[in-house]
């Protein structure tokens, strides 16, 4: 038997004012994306802003549906928009934030497992890291250098793409 430890490093900020100008602007766009959230059932809004290497930014917000499994998280809305609209684009970084009137969010809200898998696929497809910023409105911020840090055991099956194992 061999024991293996996984460690991740990330940057932690007390507030948005500590970020550099580009990351601060991306967080503000994620906050702006909250206005597009359709969340009448959970009343939990999530907004995502993704900056591409071209300098363009794509926004996404969560979209609920009365048939709950039919909704989609903000991260996947934005990522699938990129896949459909900018299929060869390189994603540099993404900022994710959340808001609800039901309670005070005191720490950054992280992505669900389904979103992490999609994020990992985009990172793998472009063969370069995607930095992820989890932004708590009026609070703490976590900046992770790569999706690989968030999902080190992402599902990968090369035989599905025709590649030999």
Catalytic residues: 75
Three-state secondary structure call for residue 41: coil
Q: How far is 128 from 146, CA to CA, in rounded Å?
A: 9
Q: How far is 19 from 120, CA to CA, in rounded Å?
A: 24
Displacement of CA 39 from its chain's centroid (Å): 18
- The H or E element containing residue 119 is helix 113-126
């Amino acid at each position: 038997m061999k024991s293996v430890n996984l460690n991740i490093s990330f940057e932690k900020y007390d507030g948005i004012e500590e970020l550099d100008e580009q990351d601060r602007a991306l967080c503000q766009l994620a906050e702006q994306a909250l206005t597009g959230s359709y969340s009448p059932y959970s009343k939990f809004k999530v907004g995502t802003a993704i900056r591409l290497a071209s300098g363009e930014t794509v926004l996404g917000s969560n979209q609920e549906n009365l048939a709950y499994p039919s909704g989609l998280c903000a991260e996947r809305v934005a990522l699938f928009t990129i896949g459909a609209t900018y299929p060869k684009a390189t994603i540099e970084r993404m900022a994710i934030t959340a808001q609800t009137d039901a309670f005070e969010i005191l720490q950054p809200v992280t992505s669900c497992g389904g979103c992490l898998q999609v994020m990992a696929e985009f990172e793998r497809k472009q063969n370069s890291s995607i930095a992820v910023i989890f932004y708590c409105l009026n609070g703490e911020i976590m900046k992770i250098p790569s999706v690989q840090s968030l999902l080190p055991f992402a599902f990968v099956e090369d035989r599905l793409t025709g590649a030999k194992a």
